[in-house]
Amino acid sequence: MSDTPRVILSGFADEAAHPTDQSRKAAEEQFAAFAALGLQYYSVRFIDVGGGPKNVMKLTKSEIQKVRSLQNDYGLNVSSIGSPLGKVKLRDVADGTRNAFVPFEKYLAQDVQKACELAHALECKLIRGFSFYHPRGTDPREHVAQAVDQLGQVAETCHRSDLTFGLEVEPNLVGETGHLLAEIHRKVNHPAMVLVFDAANLVVQGYTADELLEQFRAMLPGLGWMHVKDYHHPQPVRRGEPVNEDTLANFVPADRGDSSHERLFLEFREHLPKLERKLRRRGVPGVFVDLEPHVKGGGQFGGFSGPDGMGVALRALCRVLDYVRIDYHLRDFADIRAARGL
Q: What is the pLDDT along the chain (342 residues), one digit of tens a residue?
A: 458 999 999 999 999 999 999 999 999 999 999 999 999 999 999 999 998 999 999 999 999 999 999 999 999 999 999 999 999 999 999 999 999 999 999 999 999 999 999 999 999 999 999 999 999 999 999 999 999 999 999 999 999 999 999 999 999 999 999 999 999 999 999 999 999 999 999 999 999 999 999 999 999 999 999 999 999 988 777 777 788 887 788 999 999 999 999 999 999 999 999 999 999 999 999 999 999 999 998 878 788 999 999 999 999 999 999 999 999 999 988 888 787 776
In the prediction, which pLDDT does 1 show?
42
Q: Using CA atoms, how far apart are residues 338 and 342, in angstroms rounded to an integer?
A: 6
The conformation of residue 215, written as its DSSP 8-state character, comes to H
DSSP secondary structure letters along 254-308:
TTTSSS-HHHHHHHHHHHHHHHHHHHHHTT--S-EEEE---TT-B-SS-B--HHH
Q: Torsion angle, CA of 33/337/80/212, rounded to 10 degrees?
A: -70
Give residue 69's Cα distance to chain centre. Answer: 24
Under 8 Å between Cβ of 316 and 256: yes
- State which fold the 8-339 domain adopts: TIM Barrel (3.20.20)
What is the greatest pairwise CA distance in the chain? 62
Domain residue spans of the chain: 8-339
In the prediction, which pLDDT does 234 show?
82
Under 8 Å between Cβ of 165 and 158: yes
